[in-house]
Structure 1
């Protein structure tokens, strides 16, 4: 099954040689975890769309064990707040709170 949703990246972890596992807080499905294959390769189509604090549209395949990010489209990146250390630290703390307080696929 393929689904499209809008969300903000809460967490992004490197996985194996070229992949990332991302936690996304979505409008339609709550918090989801998905893998983006090949995202760390130089010719990756994902760019910075899977960085923390990035608001994007996601096209995701429902996997057996973990969902797979197929495509992304950046709507807005809040990562630029990293230039202002205090605002960035506050935003990252807020994201961490949301990540810890929400359950997987718990719709608001």
Structure 2
């Protein structure tokens, strides 16, 4: 059994037995891994809060094949601004759930780990999140996933949009133009309110596209509940 050390994002945790935790981590060197923290729920020496979802941690593990036991953990960043804002939390929890469903255990993906930290840091530092922009952040994340997984086909996506309504292609171009012509986050958020329903539609199209191509089941309505299917 060897000792390994790596940076991770905590995706989820669950209690097992009387004092243990099973934790799902997305790590820089080893991809997604499952690890067990024995006795942490009764230990006064180990900080159980460090293994909360959304934390970026440096973790030391005992490894034997694909079996990991947590030896030590230290918080690097806890994205505290996300935890204080419901709109940011909705997006972040959807991101974590999507990573958990899409990535298999023990697949190395250091480049995407860095992107994930970048995405969460961006959400954390936003001054606020308006409704339309919230869906755009989700859309951008899904696009990144599609590129990373090699399934991003903009021609097919535009074809799906046009099949629903011809004006959708025009709206898509307008949304892209909004991002190209302004770097002011306040102005961009204000302008995106006009496209809220359209961006919602794009999120569903991207999500369905990912579900079909990767054989997963992402469900944004579990995380963003506000009349998502009402328009």
TM-score, normalised to structure 1's length?
0.91
- Tell me which residue corresponds to 1:32: 33
Tell me if structure 1 keeps the 8 A contact 2:66–2:106: no
- Tell me which residue corresponds to 2:99: 98
Deviates more, 1:2-11 or 1:42-51: 42-51
Q: Which has the higher contact order (CA 8 A, sep 6+)?
A: 1
From the two aligned structures, give the one with the greater strand fraction. Answer: 1
From the two aligned structures, give the one with the greater helix fraction. Answer: 2
Q: CA deviation at 1:49?
A: 1.0
Post-superposition, which runs of at least 4 consecutive aligned residues in structure 1 deviate over 6 A? none
DSSP 3-state at the match of 2:97: helix
Matches within 5 A, 1:79-90: 80-90=81-91
TM-score, normalised to structure 2's length?
0.44
How many residues are treated as equivalent by the alignment? 108
CA distance in 2, matches of 1:80, 1:18: 30
CA distance in 2, matches of 1:74, 1:53: 11
Indicate the RMSD between aligned Cα atoms, in angstroms: 1.6
Gap change, CA 1:34 and 1:4, over 3 Å in 2: same
